[in-house]
Amino acid sequence: MPHCHARLAKWTTRSAIGIGNRYALKAYICENHTDSILCKACANRSRDHSKHRMRIHGLLTEPIPDDSHIYGSAWYKKQVEKYGEPPEEWIASAKEHQAVAEAWVSDAWTVKLEETVSSRMPKTAKAKAKANLVKPNPFPKQAFLMYKESDTPILKVATDSYTLEKGEYKGVPVWILPNGKRFDMDEKGEPRNLLG
Q: Model confidence over 125-168: pLDDT tens digits?
A: 555 555 556 556 666 566 666 666 667 776 666 666 667 888 88
Mean pLDDT, range 25-38, rounded to an integer: 83
d(CA 65, CA 174): 69
Phi, psi of 116 (to 5 degrees): -90, 165
Burial class (CB in 10 A: 0-12, 13-18, 19+), 24: buried
Rounded to the nearest integer, the mean pLDDT of the chain is 76
The residue among 184, 191, 29 whose CA lies nearest residue 104 is: 29
When pLDDT is cut at 50, 70 and 90, the band that residue 116 belongs to is very low
Please identify, among 131, 157, 183, the residue that sits at the C-terminal boundary of a domain.
131
The amino acid that residue 51 corresponds to is K
Is 150 within a domain? no
| Statement to judge: residues 19 and 88 lie in one domain | yes
| Statement to judge: residues 23 and 98 lie in one domain | yes
Is 18 within a domain? yes
pLDDT at residue 100 in the model: 82
Mean pLDDT, range 35-51, rounded to an integer: 78
pLDDT at residue 117 in the model: 44
From residue 87, alpha-carbon distances to 15, 81, 122 in Å are 8, 14, 16
pLDDT at residue 101 in the model: 79
Is 39 within a domain? yes
pLDDT exceeds 80 at position 50: no
| Statement to judge: residues 32 and 127 lie in one domain | yes
| Statement to judge: residues 19 and 101 lie in one domain | yes
Phi, psi of 127 (to 5 degrees): -65, -40
d(CA 38, CA 43): 6
d(CA 167, CA 189): 12
Stretch among 53-62, 129-138, 187-196 having the lowest mean pLDDT: 129-138
| Number of domains, the chain | 2
Burial class (CB in 10 A: 0-12, 13-18, 19+), 85: buried
**Higher pLDDT, residue 126 or 72:** 72
Mean pLDDT, range 71-95, rounded to an integer: 86
From residue 85, alpha-carbon distances to 19, 20, 27, 36, 115 in Å are 8, 10, 17, 37, 11
| Statement to judge: residues 105 and 29 lie in one domain | yes
d(CA 29, CA 99): 11
The amino acid that residue 112 corresponds to is K
pLDDT at residue 15 in the model: 84
pLDDT at residue 131 in the model: 56
From residue 166, alpha-carbon distances to 49, 96, 159, 186 in Å are 61, 67, 22, 13
| Statement to judge: residues 123 and 169 lie in one domain | no
Is 101 within a domain? yes
| Statement to judge: residues 126 and 173 lie in one domain | no
In terms of residue numbers, what domain contains 174?
165-194
pLDDT exceeds 50 at position 55: yes
DSSP bridge partners of 16? 23
Is 148 within a domain? no
| Statement to judge: residues 127 and 170 lie in one domain | no
pTM of the model: 0.53
